[in-house]
């Protein structure tokens, strides 16, 4: 084994699973985090994160003695930086590289001849070469490429499927030089079963941003068609289903907006790097960011006004079946509703369900579905009927069974579904 000891800085949704995979593959791993609660939990063989299968592996790897937790880095053969890169600034959204700088500074003094440093954090193009390398070189008095290896290996795992994808996904390994990329290939080869593709650091940085940008632009396109369909009075969900039968067409799903720490953020790194060439990427961000306002308009439309109306918001996480509420479109929708005088009662099948839904619905005016958790898709409307002051349901994810909810006496409206579709279906129902 070429890099027997590894120091992983940042024990979030990427750093912790990565540390675990290396520990399971037989490396000696120290996991570092600035948050005392994260370190304390890991020392007890526990984690504060919710991800399928994670708690069990944390327990076994901490017990095995191959994974330890610490507040500060120490000497190791390889260092992995997996800290957040958010955006800051409202008018001009720029990458906030403070955490990357701090993490780099913290490992710099421990880098030796022959060490490997890998940046996993998603970064604007050029960061590893222009920001990370100089900091490491200053702190270690060594040269990147000549004396130590430096690579960018962006994570690409999907929250909810992290432990599978971290092993099976193909990996991009961008080296500051060829030997660095090869060193990274050797390191990740200890647990990755997907293919490993080597390139330079800046290409690897851009590849990661391109992936998330493509998804953001495609979601924006679906959202834009949802608005068009509402305007034309047709059903975008039916239209998408039909269009997707074309062998080279694959629309994503419209919804209340794009959340999470990645897809809503990363496109701005590309815009920041080349604003004059990225009008499409910037416009897509604007379209997706405008969806919460559209959802509040749908509610206002359905209720006549928002002032004093009781809205039950179903789903607070940024997407289905995860526990992560950070950067959730639900937060934006709820804020707009409240600013306009609505009284919002919140429920989430995963993170906030102390008060049962049946109780929240009592005398409510609108049930607003913002996240398509499995638990919501399988709700039995007959058990919820007769409690609301007004049985209006607005489904922003098209996840409810229209026939069942209508039969139970609810008025179901769906984002992207215009009036004509509803009336045609009603007409054809009557004909039958």
Q: Which residues of this protein are in contact with ligand SAJ, per CB under 6 A?
A: 122, 155-159, 211-212, 215, 219, 252-253, 255, 258-260, 262-263, 318-319, 329
Instruction: Name the catalytic one among 123, 262, 366, 399.
Output: 262
Which tokens sit at 377? 């898709």
Which tokens sit at 223? 């959202």
Our CB check for ligand SAJ shows the closer of 106 and 212 to be 212
Our CB check for ligand SAJ shows the closer of 306 and 313 to be 313
Respond yes or no: is residue 366 known to be catalytic.
Answer: no
Residues 6+ apart with CB under 8 A from 144: 133, 136, 137, 150, 176, 180
Does an H or E element contain 45, and which?
none
**Residue 283 and residue 278: Cα distance in Å, rounded?**
9
CB of 241 vs ligand SAJ, minimal distance in Å: 13
DSSP calls for 281-304: HHHHHHHHHTHHHHHHHHHHHHHS
CB of 215 vs ligand SAJ, minimal distance in Å: 4
Our CB check for ligand SAJ shows the closer of 158 and 280 to be 158
Our CB check for ligand SAJ shows the closer of 79 and 269 to be 269
**Residue 61 and residue 64: Cα distance in Å, rounded?**
5
Phi then psi dihedrals of residue 330, to 5 deg: -55, -40
Residues 6+ apart with CB under 8 A from 256: 291, 292, 295, 329, 330, 333, 370, 396, 397, 415
**Residue 302 and residue 190: Cα distance in Å, rounded?**
56
Q: Look at residues 37, 250, 54 and name the one whose alpha carbon lies nearest to residue 161.
A: 54
CB of 264 vs ligand SAJ, minimal distance in Å: 7
Instruction: Name the catalytic one among 7, 123, 208, 319.
Output: 208
Q: Look at residues 110, 108, 104 and name the one whose alpha carbon lies nearest to residue 85.
A: 104
**What's the maximum distance between 2 C-alpha atoms anywhere in the chain?**
82
Our CB check for ligand SAJ shows the closer of 49 and 408 to be 49
Respond yes or no: is residue 262 known to be catalytic.
Answer: yes
Which tokens sit at 67? 């994974």
CB of 265 vs ligand SAJ, minimal distance in Å: 9
**Residue 106 and residue 98: Cα distance in Å, rounded?**
12
**Residue 355 and residue 326: Cα distance in Å, rounded?**
22
CB of 172 vs ligand SAJ, minimal distance in Å: 12
CB of 182 vs ligand SAJ, minimal distance in Å: 24
Our CB check for ligand SAJ shows the closer of 61 and 122 to be 122
Active site residues per annotation: 208, 262
């Amino acid at each position: 084994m070429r890099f027997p000891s590894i120091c992983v800085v940042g024990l979030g949704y990427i750093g912790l699973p990565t540390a675990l995979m290396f520990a399971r593959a037989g490396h000696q791993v120290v996991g570092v985090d600035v948050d005392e609660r994260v370190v304390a939990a890991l020392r007890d063989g526990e984690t504060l994160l919710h991800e399928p299968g994670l708690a069990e592996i944390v327990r076994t790897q901490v017990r095995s003695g191959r994974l330890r937790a610490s507040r500060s880095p120490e000497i190791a053969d390889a260092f992995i930086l997996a800290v957040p890169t958010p955006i800051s600034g409202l008018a001009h959204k720029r990458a906030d590289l403070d955490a990357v700088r701090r993490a780099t500074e913290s490992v710099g003094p421990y880098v030796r001849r022959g060490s490997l440093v890998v940046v996993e954090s998603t970064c604007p193009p050029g960061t590893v070469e222009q920001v990370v390398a100089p900091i490491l070189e200053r702190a270690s008095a060594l040269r990147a490429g000549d004396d130590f290896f430096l690579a960018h290996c962006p994570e690409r795992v999907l929250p909810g499927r992290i432990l599978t994808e971290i092993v099976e996904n193909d990996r991009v390994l961008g080296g500051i030089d060829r030997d660095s990329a090869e060193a990274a290939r050797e390191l990740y080869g200890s647990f990755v079963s997907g293919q490993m593709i080597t390139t330079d650091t800046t290409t690897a940085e851009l590849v990661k941003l391109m992936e998330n940008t493509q998804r953001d632009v495609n979601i924006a396109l679906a959202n834009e068609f949802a608005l068009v369909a509402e305007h034309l009075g047709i059903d975008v969900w039916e239209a998408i289903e039909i269009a997707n039968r074309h062998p080279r067409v694959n629309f994503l799903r419209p919804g209340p907006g794009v959340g999470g720490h990645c897809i809503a953020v990363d496109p701005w790194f590309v815009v920041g790097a080349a604003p004059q060439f990225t009008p499409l990427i910037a416009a897509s961000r604007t379209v997706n960011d405008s969806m919460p306002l559209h959802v509040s308009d749908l509610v206002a439309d359905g209720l006549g006004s928002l002032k004093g109306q009781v809205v039950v918001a179903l789903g607070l996480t940024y997407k289905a079946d995860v526990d992560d509420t950070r950067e959730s479109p639900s937060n934006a929708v709820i804020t707009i509703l409240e600013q306009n005088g609505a009284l919002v009662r919140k429920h989430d099948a995963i993170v906030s369900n102390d008060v049962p839904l049946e109780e929240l619905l009592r005398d409510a005016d609108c049930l607003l579905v913002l996240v398509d958790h499995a638990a919501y898709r399988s709700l039995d409307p007959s058990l919820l009927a007769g409690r609301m002051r007004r049985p209006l349901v607005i489904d922003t994810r098209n996840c409810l069974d229209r026939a069942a909810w209508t039969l139970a006496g609810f008025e179901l409206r769906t984002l992207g579904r215009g009036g004509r579709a509803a009336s045609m279906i009603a007409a054809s129902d009557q004909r039958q």
